[in-house]
Structure 1
Amino acid sequence: MKFNAPRGTNDILPPEIKKWQYIEDLTHKLFTNYNYQEIRTPIFEYTELFQRGIGEVTDIVEKEMYTFEDKSGRSITLRPEGTASVIRSFLENKIYGQAQPTKYYYIGPMFRYERPQSGRFRQFHQLGVEAIASDDPALDAEIISLGIRLMEELGLEDFELHLNSVGCKSCRPKYVKKLKSFLIENKEDLCDKCRERIERNPLRVLDCKNQSCQSVIKGAPKITEHLCPECDEHFSEVQSFLDILNIEYNINPLLVRGLDYYTNTAFEIKDNALGAQNTVFGGGRYNGLAEEIGNRDIPGIGFALGIERLLLSLDAKGIEVAEEAGIDLYITVIGKKAKREAFRLLDILRNEDFKTEIDYLDRSVGSQMKSADRMNAEYTIIIGEDELENNSATIRNMKSGNEEEIKLSNLLEVMKQLVDKEEI
């Protein structure tokens, strides 16, 4: 029987994993500089958390969640996104009793049952940030600037920031009522999916990519023209702080995002090199989420970035973020006695942080040298009976071909010199 990875999942193999590690290392460094601390939440949660947090009439909850019953009959769901879990943790662990705001970041796998396509998988990976317990518009600008800074650090510059406000529980219902009336008037020109959305979740119609729906949406009332004074002021302040940071943005009144918990600021970073599915990351405010899942009126804002889609952007631009690293030294051995001495030297070198390898397949000298070449070894050394007896061996620079006779007892000191000057 042959086993394959489930559809919509994939193995991340060397050397590709180097790119992932580079992005993760950069994330840890950059986000820490902004005073965000890492949080790790469970891979699965009780299903109701996502039903209440994300919204029961969203595509994620209705169609895309991996939900099952555990052995006690409880409904469990693999997390489809990170924010609801972070807020659950914040409330459960009473972090609101500590100094605020709380700033978290996370990196990890998420799960959605959707049609696999370029950059979109059923198990995918996100890195994200959440800033909790402050409604300051400057924090909105900080969150956006942090995401942009990450893109820039990776060498990505040709992208667009789309910005909107989706209002609050005071002004948004009034807007939704007007939008709903407009959509009913134009119902015949909408796709079947959007006709269903009119009653259940009319804001989602604004996000439809169907060409016929797009034509209708162009004439729809704009949410930015129906904000309450408080939301309008907040949105203006967010823009003013982005202006301070010299961050360019496009006001996009049709931007609503795919989750029900968003309020006020909503944003997306788009990379046109990716085609139709061009959103690299997005986020916004969710001032009602903590109240929805924990009965506490605590504001928050964050974003999530898909690592697979980020890698697509890097590939589309021809940006290499991490070169395949080779090893420092490959020790070629001849005979059992030499193997034992090489194994001892291997341990000494590794304890001094040298990437070192030997043969474990009892291959010929020629095959061992080919293996060293495949591993992109910078240096090789051959140890046999004669080398042991004379306490000497020849170390070779695999790039230049230069060789040098050394004392085996001085191998560690020689390697310390060679990796510094990188040539013989």
Structure 2
Amino acid sequence: MRDQEPAPQDTERRLSTKEAAELLGVKPETVYAYVSRGQLSSRRVSGGRGSTFDAGEVEALARRNRRESVGGSGSGGELSVRTRLTLIGSDRYFFRGVDAVDLATRHTYEEVAEWLWTGRMLPGSTFTAPSASVAVARRAVAALPEHAAPADLLRVATIAAATADPLRFDLSEGAVPGTARTLIPTLVAALPPAGHRRRDEGPLAHRLWSRLSVHKDPDEASLRALDTALALLVDHDLAASTLAVRLAASARAHAYAAVSAGLGVIEGPLHGAASGLAHRLLQDVLDQGDAAPVIADELRAGRRIPGLGHRLYPGEDPRARALFALLEQIPRAEPALLAARDIVETTARHAPLHANVDLALAVLTASCGMAPSAGETIFAVARTAGWIAHALEEYGERPLRMRPSGLYTGPKPPQPLPE
């Protein structure tokens, strides 16, 4: 005969509407919407007007919401975020489902940016900077030391432009792209000229050229290469800077502040500044006429070879492939192209690495009379459009959804007060 089982006890923990809303990160009205959709059950408070909710049920729904919004990618617990913007394949990448290289080689940077923001192709799109925004941004940039890095110039210009925009806190779907259309040309307009008169009209690539190159009158092939480089670099999924932008947008920072967060990240040598390292390597090879001793010095110093390999592409970076094809149409780029090929072939004896977009950018900057830091400027200006697209997407999500929990590994509490 079985022992008699004890009578079950009512041990379930109940939450008030306010507590449930805080746990779910929603408004109290949304809690009742979950009830109406059958996602939560409620119980009326005895003798009162409110309702209570089973704590376990609420916690399970909160976990489910977090998995659906931000969750593990299935590859080592890395962060993944739902996005409709960029998909990266093994040797191709896509903007809103369209081959990104095809878009970049057939449309201008401005048109590709509009596609990313709105999902519509607007032929002939141009970006115009308001005079008031340009004036305040130029004054702020002019106050910086001469040795300030590109990210410093652009970050200060972004903050200055924000102060000139009283409507910057409008995060609506219609307003944010409008902010981008004025911010991006303001950033370009705020940059000092590269030894000759600024150009403040025409396509954005033409205006940017006058800030980067000592060549006063560029040929069409060079301008097309710069414009295509901008379009190729518009977005690349959740790179480190883009994640920073989305975190800022999740906290409902305005678009200028979100872009500033991205600019704070790209200064790292493993991100936006990588093309400058590739430029210097390429210049060393051009000066010595042979990649072997230059590569040997890098390996002897224990440094990775810049401009080679990409964790997302087992083969050649499709952005590099597209940019190299355009650079081959520029006669003065031939020495730098040969030096880049020498770098790839020499390094292949040590490791089978392919060229990435940083090496292609280095060929562009080295052959077009630009400083080593020019690639960082090109990257930052280009990526601003993608950051705005990600911020716009994040504004449509639940606020503060990207709030990971820390895995505490410190001393076990409680510890005594320190002496």
Fold in common (TM above 0.5): no
Q: 1 or 2, which has the higher strand percentage?
A: 1
Please give the TM-score of this superposition, normalised by the length of structure 2: 0.24
> Which is bigger in relative contact order (C-alpha 8 A, separation at least 6)?
2
Q: Which has the higher helix share?
A: 2
TM-score (normalizing by structure 1): 0.24
